[in-house]
């Protein structure tokens, strides 16, 4: 892994990002409209390197590891590519086309949020700063 010393570091940063998304009325509300159980599978970067987000029925819950049920959507990619994606340095549509992100299920709802990635990237950069990981910020 280029950006992470171990899988847990990636899970920590991305989990903190989902906390910030939950606290943002615009982003949290937009995520709830996706109405899916989504698994972000980063396990090719190490065991247990996965985060799920459940936005079904107006919820916004997330956790690490295996999701509480069968995901409606699984996005499989490396933790490094996830880092680039959350940093808004990897275009998700292009990444799917180039198979850097592999999708199982319908990503239509999630891809509608692509215009909000700039705002997510700002939150993600703040998460990295809060964790003392400024060296991981991609310029």
- Per-residue confidence band for 8, with pLDDT thresholds at 50, 70 and 90: very high
- Report how far residue 63's alpha carbon sits from residue 92's, in angstroms, rounded to the nearest whole number: 22
- Residues 70-125: tens digit of each pLDDT: 999 999 999 999 999 999 999 888 898 999 999 999 877 777 777 888 999 999 99
Percent of the chain with pLDDT over 70: 100
Residue with tokens 């690490």: 64
**7-129: CATH homologous superfamily?**
SCP2 sterol-binding domain (3.30.1050.10)
Sheet with 61-64: list strands edge to edge. Answer: 61-64, 50-54, 37-41, 73-76, 102-105
Give the residue extent of every domain in the chain. 7-129
- Whole-model pTM: value is 0.91
């Amino acid at each position: 892994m280029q950006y992470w010393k171990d899988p847990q570091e990636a899970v920590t940063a991305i989990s903190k990002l989902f906390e910030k998304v939950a606290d943002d009325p615009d982003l949290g509300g937009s995520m709830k409209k996706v109405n899916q159980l989504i698994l972000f599978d980063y396990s090719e970067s190490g065991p247990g390197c996965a985060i799920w987000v459940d936005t079904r029925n107006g919820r916004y819950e997330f956790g690490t590891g295996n999701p509480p049920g069968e995901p409606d959507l699984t996005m499989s990619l490396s933790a490094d590519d996830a880092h680039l994606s959350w940093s808004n340095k990897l275009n998700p549509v292009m990444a799917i086309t180039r198979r850097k992100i592999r999708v199982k299920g319908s990503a239509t709802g999630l891809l509608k949020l692509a215009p909000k990635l700039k705002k997510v990237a700002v939150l993600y950069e703040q998460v990295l700063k809060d964790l003392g990981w400024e060296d991981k910020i991609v310029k």
